[in-house]
Amino acid sequence: MPRRESRSLPGTGNSIAPCPDDRWLKDYIGLQMVPFRRRSASITDALDYEVAQEQAAALGRTGHALEAALASLRDHDRNGQTADGARPKLVAEAGDALWRLIVQRECCELRDPRAVMRDYQVPQEVQNRMGIVRVGGRRPH
């Protein structure tokens, strides 16, 4: 009788019983890569996974928007363009982007804004403008 090779789970080095084909590997990867694809999965697990994906994507988009607004403000300050009236608008846009990120983080139950202020190096002037709506119109986009 031919001897079958024993296989190990990827990355673990743990040997498992011989298998005549690679179906076990596909099942193993499928079970590990997709959190809601468990043996006891319910229909709401798939929905929870989709919601978590969308929250993460929205958090990423708002984080990138804040980075872009802060970069524009820093570039403006670095170039020494203080005579023009663009700086207050840039500060307002950065404050709005910061407000949007903080709100998005709170929706994800990340309540402490100090990490954002520290990690993104948000100037105090932008922090003071967070959430302020202009009198004559809508928030900047």
- Report the alpha-carbon angle 16-32-63, nearest 5: 150
- Residue pointed to by tokens 């079970």: 31
Report pLDDT digits (tens) over 30-42.
Answer: 555 555 555 556 7
pTM of the model: 0.65
Exposure letters 124-135 (e unless 16+ CB within 10 A, then b): eebeebbeeeee
The CA distance from 132 to 89, in Å, is: 12
The burial of 17, by beta-carbon neighbours within 10 Å (0-12 exposed, 13-18 middle, 19 or more buried), is given as exposed
Let me know: does 84 contact 35? Beta carbons within 8 Å: no
Report pLDDT digits (tens) over 92-124.
Answer: 999 999 999 999 999 999 999 999 999 999 999
Phi-psi region of 124 (alpha: psi -120 to 50; beta: other; left: phi over 0): alpha
The CA distance from 89 to 122, in Å, is: 16
Best-predicted range by mean pLDDT among 17-26, 60-69, 77-86?
Answer: 60-69
The CA distance from 74 to 91, in Å, is: 10
Let me know: does 84 contact 109? Beta carbons within 8 Å: no
- Residue 43 pLDDT class (50, 70, 90 cuts): confident
Average pLDDT in the chain: 78
